[in-house]
Every structure is written in structure tokens, then in C-alpha cells.
Amino acid sequence: MQRRVGRLAVAGALATVTGLALTACGSGSGFSEGSTSPSDGTLTSSDDSLSVLIAASGDAEATAVQAAVGAWADESGTGAEVLVASDLPQQLSQGFASGSPADVFYLSTDALAGFAENGSLLAYGDQLSNADDFFPTLVDSFTYDGSFYCAPKDFSTLGLVINTQMWQEASLTDADIPTTWAELQDVAARLTTPEHVGLTFSPEYARVGAFMAQAGGSLTSADGTEATVDSPENLAGLTFVKELLTSGDAAYSSDLGAGWGGEAFGSGKAAMTVEGNWIAGALSADYPDVGYTVAQLPEGPGGPGTLQFSNCWGIAADSPNQEAALALVEHLTSTEQQLAFADAFGVMPSVQSAADQWKDANPDMAAFLDSADDAQGVPTQSGAADVVADFNSRLEGLRDADPQALLESFQTNYAAILP
């Protein structure tokens, strides 16, 4: 196992926007409730310039997006201005409520349903020339009521991040990298010392849910119409997490005095953590001397599994120049441009055509992208954010709680928000 130091910037669009619930306000578009485009399916077209609203993780992301949009504007002859939001959810909601939203904008998975339901969004995904290039699991995340709404701009998955020094001190080798739950339990125990635990992660569905996925569980049926939270598979996943916690070989990051798994890992309180590829930038910035390697999460009884997080490029139903907006999104999600974004601010490309080049350029991070086919998206149903937040509060006490009771409560609340 080679010693390495994180090199990529934080994928902050994911950290900034994912998990935030946006209030769905009326679009004032003049389309009927739930409508997303003119009845004949054509796109609006005009000489109007485009406004692009983003939430940037920092100067690198803002600069890269501004440069990409500017280059497209120069080539196409259509004006375009990038606005960096100070509060993206609020500014999006205000724009829709006033009937003057940005033409193109970052949109999180948990905001999709609300804005789609009231007709604020253009469902343009199937009109993209590169629609078939996106990872299928990402298309699923931005499909609502049977319509592929918007192009995933980038994404991340969860992986197992391992402190190489602690690993070597425990006399572990590359051959010991866990590929099953039993192996994960074993190495977590061998890595646990009086100074640090073997494994840590945050007390939330966005981390614990990966184990539910590995057990073969899910939150809904494939068509999203039935809650499947209270299942034997999810119980197996949650029970396994409880066993890790009660053994003392794993601990929530909050129980270690850390705000998230990356902090607990970087500060030496844990030898392994379950985190996304944004950890690379965080470790590089805050813990540059920590050597680590990344592996795919081990398989559970249901096979391989992880969670994925993404935003898409939304287009407003009210935009007077949807045709140009679609052309801009195609440019921003092209193979070449996504690789440029990845180099500029550390995101993973959402198109399959960029995968091999990205992994060649980032071999130490390849495990994150290799997990794409086995990833489950986070909940996208309207109202899911509140239901998941309630589950998260209950997960904090999992070590002393009944996993079955937690799932039954989650099931009841989730079923209530489904159509």
C-alpha cells in the first residue's frame, strides 16, 4: 500500500447543496400545474442572454464555471452571466416565486421533486445529445414521475478511506483490505487502540445507508411508489452497524468529538472512515501530513453497494431561451469540459465517456468511480429531507436502540410522503 496525500479540491457543490431542502414556490410561468414545457414539446428561443446560478465550493469552482460559460458564450454568440449564490436554496426559491428565475442553475436531488411538481422546471433530459452517456444511476436520481429532468453535472460516491501509517502499524498489508463485512469487522478490531478506533462515520443515513444498500436494501420500490424501509435487508444492514458500534471498534464521528468522518480521520481519532471523494481536498487543506489510500466499500450479504451524491444543471420552465440553455448544458457536461472541471476543482465526471481518462489522471481515487454501477441515489421524493432528518436524529442512539423499531418508524414516515 502506498503512502499518499490528498490532492483534489473539495467537491463543494455537493457539500454545499446536497442535503438542503428547497422550498418549492410557484413558478408564475403560465404553464399548467405540473407542466414543464410548452404543450407541443418545443423549446423557447430568443435573443435573451442566459443567467447561470451556481453555489461554488470556492474560487477554483467559480472561476472554472465562469471560464467555461464565457467560452461557450463567445463561441455561440449568446450572452451568459454566471452568478455565485450566497444562499442558493433561498435565491432559487425567490427567483421562481417572482417569475424571474435564473435560466440555468445547480439543482440538488432533494429539490427536484418539489420544483418539478409545481412546473418550475423544464424536463429536458431526453433532449440532450449526450443523454445516453450519463451513468444510469445518476439518470435515475434526476428522473421524476417518469421524466429525466436535468443533466447530472458531476457526482461522488462513498468509499473506505484508510490511514496507511496506522494500517502498517497494525501489521496489515494490501491483502487485508476488506472486501466483506466479516473482513471489515476483523480489520476494524485490529486497528483499534487506546488512541483511536478502527472505523468512523457520521450518524446519518448518508453514511449508514451504504450498509443498508450492501445488504440489498433500499428505501423504495424500483418505481418509487412503495416504501421498502422496513425490510429484512435494511434490518441486516442496520444491525451490522449496531454491532460495529457496540464492539467499540467503530464509533460515530460525533462521539469522537468531530464534526464529520473526515475530521475524525484526519485528526487521528480513527484509522478508517466511510466518506466521499470530497475528503481528498479537506485532508490536503487541513491534514496534509496524513497518508491514506482509498478502497471500495466491502460487500454485504446483498453484494456491493454504496451511496451517490450529485447535483444537476436545472433549466427553468420560465426561461425565454431554453434552446440556448440546453446547448449550454450540453457544453458544460461534455467529456472534455467535465474533465476540465475535474482538474480544476476535484469533482468526478458524470459521463461514462470521461471515466477512463479521469481514473488515469487520478489513480488513487479510482475506487470512488469504480463504485458507480453499484451506487444508490439519496432520497428524492418531496418531503424526504424532513423524513431522513428525523431518521438521522434516531440513528444517533443506534448503539443502544432497537434497529427494527428505528426502521418501523422510518417506514411509517416515508410511506406518508409517497403518492
Do 411 and 328 lie in a common domain? Answer: no
Do 261 and 402 lie in a common domain? Answer: yes
CB atoms within 10 A of CB 171: 8
Do 236 and 252 lie in a common domain? Answer: yes
Whether residue 7 is contained in a domain is answered as no
Do 270 and 195 lie in a common domain? Answer: yes
Beta-bridged to residue 303, according to DSSP, are: 300
Do 219 and 353 lie in a common domain? Answer: no
Report the domain count for the chain: 2
Whether residue 275 is contained in a domain is answered as yes
Whether residue 4 is contained in a domain is answered as no
* pTM > 0.75: yes or no: yes
Whether residue 6 is contained in a domain is answered as no
Distance CA 2, CA 300 (A): 26
Using alpha carbons, list the distances in angstroms from residue 396 to 45, 222, 364. 51, 28, 32
Do 63 and 162 lie in a common domain? Answer: no
Distance CA 16, CA 9 (A): 14
Do 171 and 276 lie in a common domain? Answer: yes
Do 28 and 61 lie in a common domain? Answer: yes
Do 117 and 200 lie in a common domain? Answer: no
State which residues form the domain around 272. 158-307+379-417
Do 107 and 140 lie in a common domain? Answer: yes
Whether residue 390 is contained in a domain is answered as yes
From first to last of its 419 residues, the chain has per-residue pLDDT tens of 332 333 222 333 333 333 333 323 333 333 333 334 444 568 999 999 999 999 988 899 999 999 999 999 999 999 999 999 999 999 999 999 999 999 999 999 989 999 999 999 999 999 999 999 999 999 999 999 899 999 999 999 999 999 999 999 999 999 999 999 999 999 999 999 999 999 999 999 999 999 999 999 999 998 888 999 999 999 999 999 999 999 999 999 999 999 999 999 999 999 999 999 999 989 999 999 999 999 999 999 999 999 999 999 999 999 999 999 999 999 999 999 999 999 999 899 999 999 999 999 999 999 999 999 999 998 888 899 899 999 999 999 999 999 999 999 999 999 999 98
Do 370 and 383 lie in a common domain? Answer: no
Whether residue 274 is contained in a domain is answered as yes
Query: CA-based Rg of the chain, rounded to a whole angstrom?
Result: 21
Strand, coil or helix: what is 240?
A: helix
Do 283 and 406 lie in a common domain? Answer: yes
Distance CA 173, CA 281 (A): 26
Q: Which residues contact 41 (CB under 8 A, 6 or more apart)?
A: none
Whether residue 5 is contained in a domain is answered as no
Distance CA 373, CA 371 (A): 6
Distance CA 193, CA 199 (A): 11
CATH of the domain at 16: 3.40.190.10
Q: Angle CA(98)–CA(101)–CA(102) in degrees, nearest 5? A: 155
Whether residue 107 is contained in a domain is answered as yes
Q: How many helices (H) and strands (E) does the chain have?
A: 17, 12
The rounded Cα 240 to chain-centroid distance in angstroms is 23
